[in-house]
Structure 1
Amino acid sequence: TSQHFDTCLGCLACVTTCPSGVQYDKLISATRHQVTRNQERTFSDNVIRTLIFNLFPYPHRLRPLLVPLFIYQKLGLPKLVRKTGLLKKVFPRLAAMESILPKVTVDSFRDNLPEVIPAQGEKRYRVGVILGCVQRLLFSPVNEATVRVLTANGCEVVIPKSQGCCAALPEHQGQAEQAKALARQMIDSFENTGVDFVIINAAGCGHTLKEYGHILADDPDYREKAEKFAANVKDVQEFLASAGITAKLNPLIEGDLTIVYQDACHLLHGQKISLQPRQLLQQIPGVKLKEPVDAALCCGSAGVYNMLQPEIADELGVQKVENLLNTGAELIASSNPGCSLQIKKHLELQGKTVTLMHPIELLDYSIRGVKLLRK
């Protein structure tokens, strides 16, 4: 049972395709919790899982580790490690983690967003923003772009300092008690903020946040709070498509810019969000949107799947990148940090230098009038 469920991506395509409307996402989650409780794992499996679950959901633990990683990259060691292939032979899962490591920058060590950021012009909404774990450390420009786009469109932004992990990682991997504890902390962080909506810019996190009512269904103290919180969660693209863009949008480049949008599984299958990101991108002057073959195919990231099942993940990553490149698009728009890391890895392996950005970064550039450089 453990082997069968460990090789399941949890991409939730089964939820979309099932003609009977079976809620496979909840069945997968419940089964993974049972597997974790009842199945013995190998020593190496336990080591890597312990490492992941005790580091990734806790940014304050992860941030100090960025120092040696920063030095490691500055010394040019990643190229040497990958060229020898030794790490892949001895510790394939550790090699998989190393292979998707994004560039650690000075921004990764900063935590400088204020707790309340006023709206520009007339205030239309008061919204909370969730920073994420990996997102806040390694994709901080996406969070900063999110705040700028929201404030430029009449939103007062609230970012509680007490917020932690959304619980997606432990929830998707059967760590029930850890997931519940993190969900309670998140609910408490936003309880007295008076926000109209809670905004998230990462697909996997968004799906879990919207499932809080299910995760805490057996908790009498939090059940109602969880349902109310989940009802107010919106993916940033979902929110903007509904609220409307009021700021002026400028071209990103001289002439037309061809973009291919990459559907993140937990956005497409988990949250049923597909049209909204495309509609927003098409509002940017000069943008021409391309559609890839088999757009619903998982890229192989699937949370931490590409670290736990690297071989299968690589097969999917190769196919996904080929499909995206075959559109001839100049830029890839991706709404999830895990997907972005996986796609960037396979673009590099194929020797391609196509730019990859979050759609919210493109909207931010467009609002601020920042031009992209053509490669």
Structure 2
Amino acid sequence: MKQQEKERIQQAFKEKVDYNELMNCTRCGFCLPSCPTYIETGKNEVHSPRGRIALMKGLVDGVIEPSDEVKRSIDMCLGCRACEPVCPSGVQFGRLLEQARDAIYQTNNQSVTMRLTRNLAFKKLFPNHHHMITMTGLVGFYQRSGLQKVAKKTGMIRVVPKNLRAMENVLPQVPKRKDMKRRPTHLQSFIKQKKRVAFFSGCLMDTVFMTTNDATMRLLQYAGCEIVIPKTQGCCGALHGHSGEQEQSKEMAKKNIAAFEDENIDYIITNAGGCGAFLHDYDHLLKDDPEWKERANKFAGKIKDISSVLVELEFHKIDLQLDDQIVTYQDSCHLKNGQNTFMEPRQLIEAVSGVDYVEMTDASRCCGSAGIYNIVESEMSMQILDYKMEQAKKTKAKTIVTSNPGCLLQMKLGIEREGLGEKIEAIHLVDFLLEAYENANK
């Protein structure tokens, strides 16, 4: 790293990183047992929340210089925020991490390939829903046309990096392009209306995981909700915020706030833990923008996970039925640590007749998905996943339920790596509940 680049990064840390938040850390170490990378690296302090905060503060104070080792420590963090609930001082580590990554990635010299890749993903693909439909439509064509089978049979698939090949195996069947473009904007309740809600459909959720979005809306209708789905909404910006693209994430936040703020609604419903937590933090993201601060506060105050609203509407007290089976639950880190939603998914699962719920050891420890972490930090991700699968197998569960698309794919990947595809399935909570409801109410 050249001296000029080091100076730019150090200055960026001084400008972007909240020094008061850094000072809130008392170095007590309560965060250490909750940090997956600290545990998996053999209790290396550099890869702990306390250690990363020390590095950030050292950069701001000028005690240490930016280096590849410092960047590695910041990159290695999952951003799971498991350190936050156990911190006696209430340090908002997730926000510090986003600020640190923004300081690094908006300042350091990136290769041409890296700049082009980030520009394509963060500025062209995710912010533009039409581009998302086109891209995922191509994946769907690859799956349906026979090209996928040919690529595997001939060995051509080996030109793709091993970690991406593994993810390709567990992708759901992508809907047709015409179906992704033909989405509802308003739905009536199936029973006497109890709430009027808006649904945040997202980007990947409304393309790759479109059937789960459909299941979410049907559950809301069964629970007594009228639903509006604003057409002008877009990607939440979580991947941008977590990857050092804060300015882009702010623009995306403003677009979403404007899309929802004129709707007369009780809540804005989400079904992806990562998206929900980032939407919930729009008030912090835009706290320094006088035009958007109050609008962001109102928006964030209406965010509610699907599991929370279903419990509020007493969906767990109606008939839900599945074949006899053991079920366990893998927490979405951001649903638990970002939205403080922990018991609601469990209440809903345990309400299903035929289900024997068994809590997994360390159910709330990150599975290693963490957005695109399982792609860019594959080795550590798989190390974390292997531990998770050890705990899942101990429950003897037939079904692993989770509440986030990344977690879902990661658990499916874990099942495949263990060769347990014939014995265990992973499923999103809403797909699980819809099946239970419709099975009981045929």
TM-score, scaled to structure 1: 0.90
Q: Following the alignment from structure 2 to structure 1, what is the Cα–Cα distance between the partners of residues 92 and 244?
A: 17
Q: Following the alignment from structure 2 to structure 1, what is the Cα–Cα distance between the partners of residues 389 and 181?
A: 32
Deviation at 1:209, TM superposition (A): 0.5
Figure out how many residues of one structure are paired with residues of the other and give that number. Answer: 366
Question: Are 2:237 and 1:164 aligned?
Answer: no
Whether the aligned pair in 2 keeps the contact of 1:93 and 1:308 (CA below 8 Å) is: no
Residue number in structure 1 paired with 2:312: 242
- CA displacement, residues 281-307 of structure 1 (integer Å, 9 cap, x when unaligned): 111112211111222221111011112
Deviates more, 1:98-107 or 1:294-303: 98-107
Deviation at 1:148, TM superposition (A): 0.9
User: Per the alignment, do residues 72 and 187 of structure 1 end up closer, same or farther by CA in structure 2, a change over 3 Å counting?
Assistant: same
Residue number in structure 1 paired with 2:350: 282
- Seq. identity, %: 36
Whether the aligned pair in 2 keeps the contact of 1:153 and 1:246 (CA below 8 Å) is: no
Alignment of 1:54-73 (within 5 A): 54-73=124-143
Q: Following the alignment from structure 1 to structure 2, what is the Cα–Cα distance between the partners of residues 315 and 82?
A: 27
Residue number in structure 2 paired with 1:50: 119
Secondary structure of the structure 2 residue equivalent to 1:127 = strand
Whether the aligned pair in 2 keeps the contact of 1:212 and 1:227 (CA below 8 Å) is: yes
User: Per the alignment, do residues 352 and 56 of structure 1 end up closer, same or farther by CA in structure 2, a change over 3 Å counting?
Assistant: farther
Residue number in structure 1 paired with 2:31: none
Q: Following the alignment from structure 1 to structure 2, what is the Cα–Cα distance between the partners of residues 140 and 362?
A: 15
Q: Following the alignment from structure 1 to structure 2, what is the Cα–Cα distance between the partners of residues 328 and 97?
A: 24
Deviation at 1:349, TM superposition (A): 2.2
2:105 equivalent among 29, 36, 39 = 36
Secondary structure of the structure 1 residue equivalent to 2:235 = coil
Whether the aligned pair in 2 keeps the contact of 1:63 and 1:137 (CA below 8 Å) is: yes
User: Per the alignment, do residues 355 and 77 of structure 1 end up closer, same or farther by CA in structure 2, a change over 3 Å counting?
Assistant: same
User: Per the alignment, do residues 108 and 102 of structure 1 end up closer, same or farther by CA in structure 2, a change over 3 Å counting?
Assistant: farther
Question: Are 2:405 and 1:337 aligned?
Answer: yes
Secondary structure of the structure 1 residue equivalent to 2:91 = coil
- CA displacement, residues 177-199 of structure 1 (integer Å, 9 cap, x when unaligned): 11011111111111111011000
AA of the residue aligned to 2:394: N
Question: Are 2:71 and 1:2 aligned?
Answer: yes
Deviates more, 1:265-274 or 1:229-238: 265-274
Q: Following the alignment from structure 2 to structure 1, what is the Cα–Cα distance between the partners of residues 263 and 294?
A: 17
Residue number in structure 2 paired with 1:349: 417
Q: Which has the higher contact order (CA 8 A, sep 6+)?
A: 1
2:432 equivalent among 346, 358, 362 = 362
AA of the residue aligned to 1:155: C
Deviation at 1:95, TM superposition (A): 5.1
Residue number in structure 2 paired with 1:319: 387
Whether the aligned pair in 1 keeps the contact of 2:267 and 2:304 (CA below 8 Å) is: yes
- CA displacement, residues 48-75 of structure 1 (integer Å, 9 cap, x when unaligned): 4333323234331122123432343332
Whether the aligned pair in 2 keeps the contact of 1:265 and 1:296 (CA below 8 Å) is: yes
Q: Following the alignment from structure 2 to structure 1, what is the Cα–Cα distance between the partners of residues 314 and 203?
A: 28
Alignment of 1:1-375 (within 5 A): 1-53=70-122, 54-73=124-143, 74-75=146-147, 76-77=149-150, 79-80=152-153, 85-88=158-161, 98=168, 101-106=171-176, 109-245=179-315, 248-253=318-323, 256-353=324-421, 354-369=424-439
Q: What stretches of structure 2 of length at least 5 have no aligned partner? A: 1-69
Q: Following the alignment from structure 2 to structure 1, what is the Cα–Cα distance between the partners of residues 340 and 94?
A: 13
| Larger Rg computed on CA atoms | 2
Alignment RMSD (CA, Å): 2.3
Q: Following the alignment from structure 1 to structure 2, what is the Cα–Cα distance between the partners of residues 220 and 176?
A: 17
Deviation at 1:85, TM superposition (A): 4.3
Deviates more, 1:184-193 or 1:72-81: 72-81
Q: Following the alignment from structure 2 to structure 1, what is the Cα–Cα distance between the partners of residues 151 and 406?
A: 19
User: Per the alignment, do residues 111 and 296 of structure 1 end up closer, same or farther by CA in structure 2, a change over 3 Å counting?
Assistant: same
AA of the residue aligned to 2:187: I
AA of the residue aligned to 1:38: T
AA of the residue aligned to 1:263: D
Whether the aligned pair in 1 keeps the contact of 2:180 and 2:206 (CA below 8 Å) is: no
